């Protein structure tokens, strides 16, 4: 008789930190503490692999029978990373899934970080039961996006790289949380940038719901009420853990 897998490990590789935990797939909740290590300077493949190993060791995950999902901040098609916005250019056109599988000595499921956060919110969070078009954005080192229509993920949307007319910087360089920190903006000043970004997305896509993830979503009360949009906009239920939970969830589906 097949045994139903009810737990998996999720590792979320970001431009600044690499986070992991064991996840209860029925509840969509962390079963362990969240382990976080810094993303190595330059984010070269070998260094990132070594950091992922540290996360798995600290989680005491030695059993390859526990499914493992890994999320990465780049376009991912058929296991290859096809872009590199906040990581080394070595990832462009790189067989990343195979690289991690060889390096870790086990199978993994590999996907874009914002997409897996979208899956977590779809299964266990703010997008559950939403029949229309959901656009999840992660505001962090960059801006990641996940497009979900009628419960199906449309993978690899890269709407953080929308270009602003007449400006050199793309949306993420101007409006990500890292831009707020870099430019030492107040919440109100940052919200003006977000206002442009979300209004533009609203105009282009007419979504039914915006979900805001990333570490700063825990401070959603500081900036979401400052936005004036037609579309409802809510924080991700799983805040910055959505990537870990979604990566784990995809590892078994
Ligand atoms: C990348 C996306 C990623 C996002 C959030 C962007 O720079 O292009 O693939 O989802 O950052 O990490």
Give the position, in ligand 1's atom list, of the atom nearest the Cα of 138: 5
One fold for 7-116+242-250 and 130-236:
yes
pTM of the model: 0.96
Question: Residues 18, 39: contact at Cβ < 8 Å?
Answer: yes
CATH of domain 130-236: 3.30.420.40
pLDDT at 62: 83
Residues with CB under 6 A from ligand 1: 14, 73-75, 83, 85-86, 112-114, 138, 142, 144, 158, 160, 172
Average confidence (pLDDT) over 214-241:
97
**Cα–Cα distances in angstroms (integers) from residue 40 to residues 47, 161, 210, in the given order:** 6, 23, 31
57 pLDDT above the threshold of 90: yes
The tokens of 177 are what?
């949380």
Question: Residues 246, 8: contact at Cβ < 8 Å?
Answer: no
Q: 83-134 pLDDT, tens per residue?
A: 999 999 999 999 999 999 999 999 999 999 999 999 999 999 999 999 999 9
2 pLDDT above the threshold of 60: no
Written out in words, the top-level CATH class of the domain with range 7-116+242-250 is: alpha beta
Give the position, in ligand 1's atom list, of the atom nearest the Cα of 142: 11
82 pLDDT above the threshold of 70: yes
Nearest CA to ligand 1 atom 9: 74
Average confidence (pLDDT) over 171-186:
97
Nearest CA to ligand 1 atom 4: 144
Q: What is the dihedral of CA 240, 201, 249, 16, to 10 degrees?
A: -40
Distance from Cα 85 to the centre of ligand 1, integer Å? 7
The tokens of 126 are what?
């703010």
Mutation pick for ligand 1 pocket among 113, 138, 163, 236 (CB with most ligand atoms within 8 Å): 113
pLDDT at 4: 66
Give the domain ranges of the chain.
7-116+242-250, 130-236
């Amino acid at each position: 008789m097949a045994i139903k897998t009810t737990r998996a490990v999720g590792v979320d590789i970001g431009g600044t930190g690499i986070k992991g935990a064991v996840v209860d797939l029925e509840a969509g909740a962390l079963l362990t503490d969240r382990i976080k290590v810094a993303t190595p300077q330059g984010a070269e493949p070998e260094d990132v692999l070594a950091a992922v190993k540290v996360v798995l060791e600290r989680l005491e995950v030695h059993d390859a029978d526990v499914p493992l999902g890994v999320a990465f901040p780049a376009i991912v098609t058929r296991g290859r990373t096809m872009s590199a916005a906040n990581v080394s250019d070595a990832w462009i056109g790189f067989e990343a899934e195979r690289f991690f599988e060889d390096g870790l000595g086990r199978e993994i499921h590999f996907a874009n970080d914002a997409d897996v956060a979208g899956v977590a919110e779809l299964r266990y969070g703010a997008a559950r039961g939403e029949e229309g078009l959901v656009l999840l954005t992660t505001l962090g080192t960059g801006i990641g996006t996940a497009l979900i229509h009628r419960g199906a993920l449309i993978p690899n949307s890269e709407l953080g790289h929308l270009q602003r007319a007449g400006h050199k910087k793309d949306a993420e360089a101007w409006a990500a949380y890292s831009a707020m920190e870099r430019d030492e903006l107040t919440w109100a000043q940052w919200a003006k940038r977000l206002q442009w970004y979300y209004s533009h997305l609203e105009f282009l896509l007419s979504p039914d719901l915006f979900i805001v993830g990333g570490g700063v979503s825990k401070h959603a009360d500081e900036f979401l009420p400052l936005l004036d949009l037609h579309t409802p906009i809510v924080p991700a239920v799983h805040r910055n853990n959505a990537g870990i939970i979604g990566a784990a969830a995809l590892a078994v589906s």
